[in-house]
Amino acid sequence: MTETGSASAGRGMGRAAAARRFLRTNPVILGGLIVILFFTAVALIAPHVLVDPVRLNPLQRLRPPSLDNLFGTDQVGRSTFSRTLNGTAISLTVGALVTLVTVVFGLLIGLSAGFVRKLDGVVMRIMDGIMAIPGILLAIALMSLFGSSVKNVVIAISIAEIPRMARIVRSSVLVIREQTYVEAAVTNGTRLSRMLMLHVLPNAAAPVIVQATYVFASAMIVESILSFLGAGTPPTIPSWGNMLAEARPFLQRAPWLVAFPGIALALLVLTVNVLGDALRDAIDPRLARKLRT
Amino acid sequence: MIPYILRRLASTIPVLAVVALFVFFLLRLTPGDPAILIAGDQATTAQIETIRETLGLNRPLVEQLVAWAGQIARGDLGRSVFSDMEVTRLIGLRIEPTAMLALVAIVMALAIALPLGTLAAIKAGSVVDRAVMAFAMLGFSSPVFIVAFFLVYVFALGLGWFPTQGYVPLAQGLWPCLNSLILPGAALAMLYAALLARITRTALLEVLAEDYVRTAHAKGVAPRKVVIGHALKNAAIPIVTVVGVGIAALLGGVVVTETVFNIPGLGRLTTDAILRRDYPVVQGLILVFSVVYVVVNLLVDLSYALFDPRIRY
């Protein structure tokens, strides 16, 4: 009992130290994580300290940025500062949930296709078919049927993202399956669940993690596009896409209405993409071409 | 060559069949009555009944599926619920602006990405390289409508060089048409150019490390000729592959760009159809966009032989 306890504690400490060393040698990854943590903190704190993002103030319409209204106000006098900061939560939530759903289903589908040869042909043809539909188009079509809500946005974007993830998982499984140590494990009668945990998942982890960062970034972009087109989060929610859609007629009179949510979105997506690239280079430089092409 | 083309053509059939099935089941398997879904909240029972009747939603699922397959095989995509026009005719009327926009965007993207990617590869590790890659990263991360807003604010509202929105049909002259597409084309080209600049750099870097490039240099071939004649030609295959794959992003971007710039093309038709719950039109558009994607990638596959004579099908 004590032995296993101390062993796992030792391994845990080893991992923490390894993580610290990894971050020290990869300052870009550290920086990216810090920026994302900063956005997360903003998302958590904003609703509690800022004025209500949906409170109207008809006397303060379309005011340019000033000390009173840091980011100015919109056409019905709402605070753009509060709306922009509160919008962070929507983008991060959608990004994180889509990534989670995509990874889980991508693993399930990819592993089954990779291991069960009978399923492989059928499952991968279905994935190819879904991949032939441009992602944004598929997501708006799904939204038109599901109706607008954050949950449906997550489902719609995930359906468009899962096939690529499944394909990446499957191709790592196909490589791993032929390795001698896996053959040895099979001969030894290792149970499938144990083999997955011990051999397959650790080897598939690198490409999956890298792809997950791109899914995160792309999900935030697609969410904003859906909301911008009026097929995303309900218009009452101050998401960046909704703000940009409402700001469109005021581009000339009140450019700040477009600028702040636009910059926030681009900055967050940029950070996640830079993080993804840095992770890819750190984990496996050879992956670069496989994933991008 | 011909057997290969036939085999490759045949391989697109299952993909398109899956797309068609997917589109078919999408409407039928969505929770709720599809007829009510299309008719909207304010529809009367009679209206809902008419929709159910015209789309055949009251018949058994298998019968609907057979009818749908027969329809597609005949190139019939049904009729719009909203305007009662044939979907194929509706699409035909809107194809010109989209084709022109996509063409302008592809040309712009190639004109930006190939020189920049080449420059970055030749000067790998330098300030120029980093600047190009940073630009690509930015283009890769900026949603198309934000780029569009920025371009409109600076070049249309600020400098007044281009119209803020609208499309001038080709029939009114090539130049007015192109002029109306420069801003939307640039906005749409951004993501595509970023993808292409990155792959150009990567592919070229790999080729530049090859022995035959060193040999060419040693023989005293002019550096420009080495890059263009020897290296770029050999880097072409990964680049055209990304041209094909990137078409998906381009087609998705078309929907957004046409909405921002008020261009009456297939993208606008898509958003309009979705907001009106005109499902037969949505269905037809998804099919058409997917066929374009599949055909472009088929052409990309076949083009490999052009770039590398060793490839014989």
- Does the pLDDT of residue A289 top 70, yes or no? no
User: For A273, which of B141, B259, B277 is closest by C-beta distance?
Assistant: B141
- Does the pLDDT of residue A109 top 90, yes or no? yes
pLDDT of residue A290: 45
pLDDT of residue A2: 42
What 3-state DSSP class applies to A93? helix
- Does the pLDDT of residue A120 top 50, yes or no? yes
Mutate to test the interface with B, among A140, A216, A260 (most CBs of B within 10 A): A140
- Inter-chain contact A132–B141, Cβ cutoff 8 Å? no
Give the pLDDT confidence of A230-287 residue by residue, as tens digits: 888 887 888 888 888 888 887 777 788 888 888 899 999 999 998 988 888 887 655 4
Question: A160 to each of A128, A142, A192, A230, B203, how far by Cα in Å?
Answer: 11, 10, 29, 19, 28
Chains A–B, number of C-beta pairs less than 8 Å apart: 146
Best mean pLDDT range from A22-31, A189-198, B62-71, B85-94:
B85-94
- Inter-chain contact A252–B21, Cβ cutoff 8 Å? no
Beta strand extents in chain A (DSSP E only): none
pLDDT of residue A98: 96
Residue A152: inside a domain: yes
Q: What is the pTM of this model?
A: 0.85
What 3-state DSSP class applies to A73? strand
Residue A3: inside a domain: no
Residue A21: inside a domain: no
- Chain A residue with Cα closest to B154: A252
Residues of A in contact with B153 (CB under 8 A): 251-252, 255, 258
Give the pLDDT confidence of B139-186 residue by residue, as tens digits: 888 888 889 988 888 888 888 888 888 888 888 888 888 888 999 999
State what percent of residues in chain B have pLDDT above 90: 14
Interface of B with A in 224-253 (CB under 8 A): 238, 241-242, 245, 248-249, 251-253
- Inter-chain contact B199–A136, Cβ cutoff 8 Å? no
**In chain B, what's the furthest Cα-to-Cα distance?**
82
Q: Is B146 on the interface with A (CB under 8 A)?
A: yes
Q: Is A28 on the interface with B (CB under 8 A)?
A: no
**CA A268 to CA A220: how far, in whole Å?**
9
Please compute the mean of the pLDDT values over residues A167-195 and round it to a whole number: 83
Q: What ipTM goes with this model?
A: 0.84
Give the pLDDT confidence of A144-156 residue by residue, as tens digits: 788 788 888 999 9
Please compute the mean of the pLDDT values over residues A203-214 and round it to a whole number: 87
Residue A130: inside a domain: yes
Instruction: State which residues form the domain around A148.
Output: 47-58+71-292
Which of A170, A178, A175, A176 minimizes the C-alpha distance to A200?
A176
- Does the pLDDT of residue A3 top 90, yes or no? no
Four-point Cα dihedral A45, A48, A49, A55, nearest 10: 120
pLDDT of residue A286: 56
Q: How many domains does chain A have?
A: 1
Residues of A in contact with B265 (CB under 8 A): none
pLDDT of residue A162: 94
CA distance B233 to chain A (A): 18
Please compute the mean of the pLDDT values over residues B43-64 and round it to a whole number: 80
Non-local CB neighbours of B258 within 8 Å, separated by 6+ positions: B97, B98, B101, B184, B264, B265, B266, B267, B268, B271
Please compute the mean of the pLDDT values over residues A206-220 and round it to a whole number: 90
**CA A197 to CA B1: how far, in whole Å?**
46
**Among the ranges given (A197-201, B21-25, B29-33), the one the predictor scored with the smallest mean pLDDT:** B29-33
- Average pLDDT score, chain A: 82
Residue A105: inside a domain: yes
Residue A40: inside a domain: no
Residue A14: inside a domain: no
* Residue bearing the bigger pLDDT, A165 or B75: A165
Give the pLDDT confidence of B67-122 residue by residue, as tens digits: 888 888 888 888 887 787 888 999 999 999 999 999 999 999 999 999 999 888 88
- Does the pLDDT of residue A44 top 60, yes or no? yes
Which of A142, A42, A157 minimizes the C-alpha distance to A102?
A157
What 3-state DSSP class applies to B86? strand
Tell me phi and psi for residue A178, to 5 degrees: -85, -5
- Does the pLDDT of residue A104 top 90, yes or no? yes
Best mean pLDDT range from A182-186, A188-192, B62-66, B101-105:
B101-105
User: For B252, which of A126, A137, A258 is closest by C-beta distance?
Assistant: A137
Q: Is A286 on the interface with B (CB under 8 A)?
A: no
- Does the pLDDT of residue A11 top 70, yes or no? no
Give the H or E element holding residue B134: helix B127-141
State what percent of residues in chain B have pLDDT above 70: 98
Question: CATH number, domain at A251?
Answer: 1.10.3720.10
Please compute the mean of the pLDDT values over residues A168-184 and round it to a whole number: 84
- Does the pLDDT of residue B52 top 60, yes or no? yes
Non-local CB neighbours of B154 within 8 Å, separated by 6+ positions: none
Residue A22: inside a domain: no
Give the pLDDT confidence of B242-277 residue by residue, as tens digits: 888 888 888 889 988 998 898 999 999 988 888 777
Q: Where are the alpha helices (DSSP H) in B142-265?
A: 144-151, 174-208, 211-219, 223-225, 233-260
pLDDT of residue B105: 94
**CA A164 to CA A157: how far, in whole Å?**
12
Please compute the mean of the pLDDT values over residues B215-227 and round it to a whole number: 81
Question: B143 to each of A16, A223, A244, B207, B249, how far by Cα in Å?
Answer: 36, 10, 11, 32, 11
Please compute the mean of the pLDDT values over residues B187-214 and round it to a whole number: 87
The pLDDT-based confidence of B313 (bands split at 50, 70, 90) is low
Please compute the mean of the pLDDT values over residues A37-62 and round it to a whole number: 77
- Inter-chain contact A266–B270, Cβ cutoff 8 Å? no
- Does the pLDDT of residue B10 top 90, yes or no? no
